[in-house]
Amino acid sequence: MTALAERPGDTRTRGRVVAQRFFVVRELGIGLALLLLIVITALVNPRFLAAQSIKDLLLGSTILAILATGQAIVVITRNVDLSVGSVLGLSAFAVGTLFVSAPGTPIPVALAMGVALGAACGAVNGLLIAAARVPALVVTLGTLYVFRGIDYTWATGKQVNAADMPAGFLRMGTKAVLGVPVLALFAVVVLVFAGYYLRAFRSGRELYAIGSEPAAARLNGIPVGRRIFGAFVVSGALAGFAGVLYAARFGTLDANAGINSELNVVAAVVVGGVAIFGGSGSVYGAALGAVLLTTIGAALPVLGVSPFWQRAAVGALILAAIGLDRILMARVGERLRVIGGRSVAENAPDQRKGARRA
């Protein structure tokens, strides 16, 4: 890590602590909101906490959580990946076709294929964005179209039916271990891996630096292009993985799998505290955001609210989350300025910062 002298009152540490505290608060806030929602809904209808109901909730949020994890990694670098829904659809149909034509395929092979396909799509995105230096919004908008079009060309008129898929694979979609669905366990494993990587590896932390201030990151020797390429490959791979799980859960697949899901993914990420302007947030927050959104969808009918309000609620939440983040950023910026100002007065000679290679 950075070779810092951990002196008490050191500007940078205090600044970092302040920033970290604000964003941990942010994630705790989501967790709290989630808890509150569950409690209120359970009070209205205790069956909301029944085993089947919880199982459905976890299953429903798994795919979104995995997509959100990948998206968070991309958004942290101040980019966005709108093509995840199309990659999911492509991967799901590919896996379905694989099983229909070769029913004896072992499940790990299918998983690997889905991930590889997703990674390839992500690589296309990453190449265009990193090499051609084109805004991610435009590129992933285009690849959203292109990948979905490829999916349609392949799948039009055809449909993979649940009846044609191997029973073992479909069972994976509904099986539960100690009440927790297998699919949800997959999501947890992915989440923990991603979270650990972002926190403990230098290349992971560099993603944050790139998102905070790309020019400064480049000047500091961080291989920005390579890191961004990697981020998109990961996002694509996770979307491919989510596609395989989608195939297991729903069984019947057509060209429309995953369509329009990019919006929900971005919502989950933004609501989960990953700032859309990059540089902060965590995959845990994004996953929490995914669970929160799914729970809202499940809770609304129970609370007697027309389920049609769910989309509007998603939109309102995005706006609220962005607004909240802007306020938080402003506050953090102010605090850092105050600390910096005070430290200038106290430690004038020490202001030259030392080496950063770690």
Partner 1 sequence: MRRSYAWDLGIIVALVLFVAVAGQTIEGVGSPRFWRFVILEVIPVALIALPLALVVITGEIDLSVASVLGLTCTVLGQLWAWGVSSLPLLIVLCLLLGAALGAVNGVFVTVFGLPSLAVTIGTLALYRGLAYVVLGDRAVANYPTTWTRNAIAAIPGLTIPWMILVVVAVAVILGVILHATPIGRGLYAIGNNAEASAFAGISVARTKFWLFVLTGAMSALAGVFWTFRFASARADNATGLELAAVAAVLLGGVSIFGGRGGLVGVLAAVVLLATLRNALQLADVPANALTIVTGSLLIASVVGPNVATQARDALRRRRARTAT
Partner 2 sequence: MKRTAAALAALLLLGLSATACAEDGDDSGGGDGGAKSNTIKSGLKIAFLPKQVNNPYFTTAGNGGKTAVGEFKGTYSETGPSEASASSQVSYINTLSQQKTDVIVVSANDKDAICGALNEARQAGTKVVTYDSDTKPDCRDLFVNQATAEGIAKSQIKLISDAVGPDGGKIAILSATANATNQNAWIEMMKTELAKPEYSKLQLVATVYGDDDDQKSFTEAQGLLAKYPDLKGIISPTTVGVAAAGRYLSGSAYKGKVALTGLGTPNQMRAFVKDGTCKAFALWNPADLGYLAAYAAGALASGMISGKEGEKFTAGKLGEFTVGKNGEVLLGEPFTFNASNIDQFNF
**What is the contact surface with partner 1 in residues (CB under 8 A)?**
80, 128, 132-135, 137-139, 141-150, 152-153, 156, 255, 260, 263, 266-267, 270, 276-277, 306, 308-316, 318-319, 322-323, 326
212 binds partner 2 (CB under 8 A): no
Of the two residues 114 and 173, which places its CB atom closer to partner 2 in the complex? Answer: 173
51 binds partner 2 (CB under 8 A): yes
Three-state SS letters, the chain: CCCCCCCCCCHHHHHHHHHHHHHHHHHHHHHHHHHHHHHHHHHHCHHHHCHHHHHHHHHHHHHHHHHHHHHHHHHHCCCCCCCHHHHHHHHHHHHHHHHHHCCCCCHHHHHHHHHHHHHHHHHHHHHHHHHHCCCHHHHHHHHHHHHHHHHHHHHCCCCECHHHCCHHHHHHHHCEECCEEHHHHHHHHHHHHHHHHHHHCHHHHHHHHHHHCHHHHHHCCCCHHHHHHHHHHHHHHHHHHHHHHHHHHHCCECCCCCCCHHHHHHHHHHHCCCCCCCCCCCHHHHHHHHHHHHHHHHHHHHCCCCCCHHHHHHHHHHHHHHHHHHHHHHHHHHHHHHHHHHHHHHCHHHHCCCCCCC
Among residues 117, 238, 298, 317, the one that binds partner 2 under rule CB under 8 A: 298
101 binds partner 2 (CB under 8 A): no
Output the smallest distance, CB 358 to partner 2, in A: 46
Output the smallest distance, CB 147 to partner 1, in A: 8
Considering only 2-10, 43-51, 105-113, 327-335, which stretch makes contact with partner 2 by CB under 8 A?
A: 43-51
Of the two residues 5 and 312, which places its CB atom closer to partner 1 in the complex? Answer: 312
Residue with tokens 């995840």: 84
Contact 107, 125 (CB under 8 A): no
Output the smallest distance, CB 297 to partner 2, in A: 9
Output the smallest distance, CB 23 to partner 1, in A: 17
What is the x/- site pattern for partner 2, positions 161-180, by CB under 8 A?
xxx---------xx------
Among residues 56, 100, 185, 340, the one that binds partner 2 under rule CB under 8 A: 56
Of the two residues 160 and 184, which places its CB atom closer to partner 1 in the complex? Answer: 160
Please give the Cα distance from 7 to 343 (Å, whole number).
Answer: 13
Output the smallest distance, CB 101 to partner 1, in A: 22
What's the Cα-to-Cα distance from 178 to each of 16, 55, 181, rounded to whole Å? Answer: 40, 11, 8
Q: Which does 78 bind (CB under 5 to 8 A by kind): partner 2, partner 1, none?
A: none
Q: Which does 61 bind (CB under 5 to 8 A by kind): partner 1, partner 2, none?
A: none
120 binds partner 2 (CB under 8 A): no
Q: Which does 14 bind (CB under 5 to 8 A by kind): partner 2, partner 1, none?
A: none
Among residues 12, 14, 158, 218, the one that binds partner 2 under rule CB under 8 A: 158
- The residue ranges that bind partner 2 (CB under 8 A) are 47-48, 50-53, 56, 60, 152, 155-159, 161-163, 173-174, 250-257, 298, 301-302, 307
